[in-house]
Chains A and B, each alone.
Chain A
Amino acid sequence: MTAVTDEILSFEEAMEKYDPVLGFEVHVELNTRTKMFSAAPNVFGDEPNTNVTPVCLGLPGVLPVVNKAAVEYSIKIGLALGCRIAPSCTFARKQYFYPDTPKNFQTSQYEDPIAFDGSIDIELEDGTVFTVEIERAHMEEDAGKLTHLGGATGRIQGADFSLVDYNRAGVPLVEIVTKPIVGAGSRAPELAKAYVAAIREIVKNLGVSDARMERGNVRCDANVSLMPKGSTTFGTRSETKNVNSLRSVERAVRFEIQRHAAVLESGAAVTQETRHWHEDTRTTTAGRPKSDADDYRYFPEPDLVPVVTSEEWIEELRAQLPEPPAERRKRLKDAWGYSDAEFRDVVNAGVMDSIEETIAAGATPAVARKWWMGEVSRRAKEAEVDPAELGVTPETIVELDSLISAGKINDKLARKVLEYVLAGEGTPSEVVDKHGMAVVSDDGALLEAIDAALAAQPEVAEKIRGGKLQAAGAIVGGVMKATRGQADAGRVRELIFERLGVQG
């Protein structure tokens, strides 16, 4: 594929002249035990083509059977998005030939999705709230995974051969489609990111998906179009496919806004097409034009009967819904007593759950925040992972804190202890014992070091005797250096004053 470099306008200029209109199709892989229409296990990461049955391989003669758990998960998603649930809905066949689709059609929903007409409030980082209307959420099945070998692009065109893994074929999906989102203006890229983050949070909170974007559990197709400022007529849209990280969603929307603006400024028309996002260049390239490939020859799936949802069933599922994430955040913020800014930082750092768990394990809100926003976040940033993925357990933090409170270690040592814990050397107490990291509390040893430090800096000793108590810091520093940090600075200070006969 030849890469065409598109002209782009600066984002600011684009925003001066145009209003963006967004739309999202987010695919959520459900974490049901088995697949959408077959009894094959729904498990990620297994040996290729092992989690398959004749049904998900599309062998001659097979028939689908709807997974009831997948329907329940879909209803829960619909309810969490404030949707109405269809009393009865059907499946349809979406037909296209592609080797990742064993039947050469995808069993999906077309005219009557299970959930429709919902909305969710999306809060941006600064607290601004946008309401996003949900058009529909429908059930369908995932395709297999193709790996194209040989060739330069990693795409099927030009590949020497391709491998296909049908473990993913038939995994239950819910596709959540928004209505057009207008009025976001220059916040559009941020809103895009926040929307996808919210969907991910909701499905994770519901427990219906593992919601790991890096595994493709949540995948976003982002539609962007522009209309001249003041106009209410939507422009031609592009659909950027499979943007699979939150950061990419924001960047892709921003790029498409800039690209559309440049096309429109040049007097040309935007082509209705799919676009591919490239993380490396942070650009999109043209995929296939939408217009001539749009005929999927949908028709009602004759092998399945309608899914009928009773009022009782829906209410039973509604009663099982966990606390919505936004409400939960408000509750936690009040309980922990953090300021608006502190809490927003916690949320943005992605450590709210960790802090909640740490508090539950016995830490105070302040201690939990100190660790998760401080040392753990710092290390996570270094390691380029999310803080929650670093491997720090709430119990570790509680133990570190109690060692500090007991005076056995100080903050500096505690950070060192954490490093050893993360290296797999045991619990904080075990690490302290193993490495002899306890604070030196033997006054005799400390006095020896103090005498040496006073002798080395007689002029400082004079100043202290003369009443300049703050000069003691230099002596404390010397002692800490001599004990390689393993002294309790407060005790050292006391001993210095005692030694010099002054009142601290």
Chain B
Amino acid sequence: MNELITHSAAELAAKLAAKEVSAVEVVQAHLDRIAEVDGEVNAFLHVNTEEALAVATEVDTARAAGGAEAGRLHGLAGVPIAIKDLIVTIGQPTTAGSAMLRGWMSPYDATVIQKIRAAKMPMLGKTNLDEFAMGSSTEHSAYGPTRNPWDLDRIPGGSGGGSAAAVAAYEAPLALGTDTGGSIRQPAAVTGSVGVKPTYGGVSRYGAIAMASSLDQIGPVSRTVLDSALLHEVIGGHDPADSTSLTDPVGALAEAARTGNVAGMRIGVVRELQGEGYDAGVQQRFDESLELLRGAGAEIVEVSCPNFKYALGAYYLIMPSEASSNLAKFDGVRYGLRVLPEDAPLTIERVMGASRAAGFGDEVKRRIILGTYALSAGYYDAYYGSAQKVRTLVQRDFDAAFAQADVLISPTAPTTAFKLGEKLDDPLAMYLNDVATIPANLAGVPGISVPGGLAGGLPVGIQFLAPAREDARLYRAGAALEKLLEDKWGGPLLAQAPVLGGVK
């Protein structure tokens, strides 16, 4: 155990810049931590030891050279990062958590990976996820579940349970996630970490294996709000390779996080995202956070988003519809698993069928079947068409709410981390865990989850939502709440996590 791993990315960056520590030391400390605890946590599907150290060495060399070369180094150069294994990387396998892509090596880098490389942030490896990001528990991975560092018998959330657990277990200070219905924010909530879903189009999706194109968004995972802002500034911005990418500049996100002030801010409590269905302990922590924010000068207002109650239903039509189409390419013809049918005849249709039957897990098949059905002739209008109308209504609810409030607030998830296996046979119960995160994806607005305390010894997440392109507000409000709570707790929430491999 090395105390280096307990530092935030911002702290590590400062130490590196001051040459108090080398990038190789930082990377090695995290690699050691992974070796030490990941057998239990299973956050990583691949550990990128050699390349991570090589990049760290480059950073150290540049810094030692001083002058212009050192001056060109990005502020986060040498700060290591873990990558959700849904994002394609040259030199490391990209599996999407699926047997379909076991060992698949991408010949190209995602745009965000190009930016990570440009910033010379050593990539520690690829993190576990629900297969093709479909799930809320990381149990639907073909490579075994990831466990919650707070309680190894519990789920770390999903689909990005690997990235959240890696950060919460000090295996990495930063990670990339993807959020289609809450896959960054819900894992952050149940692991006591921070996760941000940027405005749709704010971060290039090029190279993120698509689940639902109109909902997917890459975003940062970290232990502090400032760290997410710093990472967001690295990965954000326009990308000509993504037609849905915004042309806006990224914005001064880290500055907003450093400001961290809610005085005069109107914070809207969404009436429909609390109460029934939300654990009492979750509700309690949420109410306490509201009081703290009020005490810090925020104006707490109640807003109503009446159509949010249809959001989950609409989501479970739009997402599987797009997923059924996006996953059609996995057919064993060009790459990935190829399985020949056991009996004759050997036709291309049957090879595709056998490959998909063997390569996809149950949850993926469930969604492909749902989506295929929803898009079928005669059902399209009733299902996909109606869902898109609901989506418009949800967007209008947001518009109305943001007319009354600068940001909205809710619990990130209705419960704390549940036990492994608890909801595996009840997909609907599993889906309900995303009820508070899904509206943001339907409307394309940004959201953040910050630690809100413990209920029954397990982390609770508080979610802020902001209007599209106003991601900075999330960092301002999130950092303010983080500071208010940490002052109350006397330190970060993760300091209260049980000992794992000798480090708190």
Contact = CB atoms under 8 A, between A and B. Distances in A.
Nearest to B373: A297
Contacts, number: 101
Nearest to A62: B206
Nearest to B110: A61
A234 to B, nearest CB: 22
Given A61-B208, A105-B325, A156-B348, A297 B376 contact: yes
A95 interface: yes
Contacts of A95: 325, 328, 375
Residue among A60, A97, A105, A302 with the highest chain B CB neighbour number at 10 A: A60
Given A61-B88, A103-B328, A302 B214 contact: yes
Contact of A97 (B210, B244, B334, B349): B349
B130 interface: no
A254 B242 CA distance: 48
A63 B241 contact: yes
Contacts of B377: 294-295, 297
A105 B205 contact: no
Contacts of A304: 243-244
Nearest to A98: B348
Contact of B88 (A60, A64, A66): A60
B110 A54 contact: no
Given A61-B206, A99-B333, A294-B377, A305 B328 contact: no
Given A97-B349, A299-B380, A63 B329 contact: no
Contacts of B110: 61
Contacts of B349: 97
A61 B209 contact: yes
B210 A104 contact: no
A299 B375 contact: yes
B241 A65 contact: yes
Given A63-B241, A66-B243, A97 B206 contact: no
Contact of A303 (B106, B243, B331, B334): B243
Judged by DSSP, the binding face of A is: loop
Nearest to A146: B348
A142 B322 CA distance: 22
A54 to B, nearest CB: 5
A57 interface: yes
B352 interface: yes
Contacts of B101: 60
Contacts of B352: 97
Nearest to A64: B243
Instruction: Using C-beta atoms within 8 Å of the partner chain, give the interface range for chain B.
Output: 35 or more
B34 interface: no
A297 B321 CA distance: 10
Interface string B356-390: 00000000000000001001110010001000000
Interface in B188-214: 205-210, 212-214
A349 interface: no
Residue of B88, B214, B333, B334 with highest tally of chain A CB at under 10 A? B333
B373 to A, nearest CB: 10
A93 interface: yes
A37 B96 CA distance: 24
Contacts of B207: 61-62
Q: Which of A54, A62, A162 has the most CB of B within 10 A?
A: A62
A58 interface: yes
Interface in A155-180: 156-157, 162, 164
A264 to B, nearest CB: 29
Contacts of A350: none
Given A65-B241, A95-B328, A297-B375, A59 B107 contact: yes
Interface string A78-110: 000000000000000101010100111100000
Nearest to A104: B328
Contact of B106 (A58, A59, A157, A164): A59
A442 B461 CA distance: 110
A61 B325 contact: no
Interface string A332-347: 0000000000000000
A95 B324 CA distance: 10
A60 B376 CA distance: 24
A60 B106 contact: yes
Contacts of B244: 63, 302-305
A222 to B, nearest CB: 25
A238 to B, nearest CB: 21
Q: Chain B CB within 10 Å — which of A104, A294, A302 has the most?
A: A302
B94 interface: yes
A301 to B, nearest CB: 8
Contacts of B409: none
A308 to B, nearest CB: 13
B88 A102 contact: no
A102 B332 CA distance: 11
A63 B243 contact: yes
Contact of B108 (A59, A65, A99, A105): A59
Interface string B204-247: 01111110111000000000000000000000000011111000
Contacts of B88: 59-61
Nearest to B109: A61
B278 interface: no
Chain A CB within 10 A, most for which of B110, B205, B213, B328? B328
A294 B376 CA distance: 10
B87 interface: yes
B335 A59 contact: yes
A220 to B, nearest CB: 27
Interface string B293-336: 00000000000000000000000000001101100111101110
Interface in B411-457: none
Interface in B1-55: none
A65 B106 CA distance: 20
Contacts of A97: 328, 331, 349, 352
Interface string A270-313: 00000000000000000000000011011100111100000000
24 contacts: A58-B334, A59-B106, A60-B329, A60-B335, A63-B206, A63-B242, A64-B243, A65-B241, A93-B325, A97-B331, A99-B333, A99-B348, A102-B329, A103-B329, A104-B329, A162-B348, A295-B376, A299-B322, A299-B325, A299-B380, A302-B212, A303-B243, A304-B243, A305-B244
Interface of A: 54, 57-66, 93, 95, 97, 99, 102-105, 156-157, 162, 164, 294-295, 297-299, 302-305
Given A63-B241, A295-B376, 10 more contacts: A59-B88, A60-B94, A63-B244, A66-B243, A103-B328, A104-B329, A105-B328, A297-B372, A302-B213, A305-B243
Q: Which 10 A-B pairs have the closest CB atoms?
A: A104-B328, A302-B213, A302-B214, A297-B375, A61-B207, A60-B209, A295-B377, A61-B88, A58-B329, A61-B209
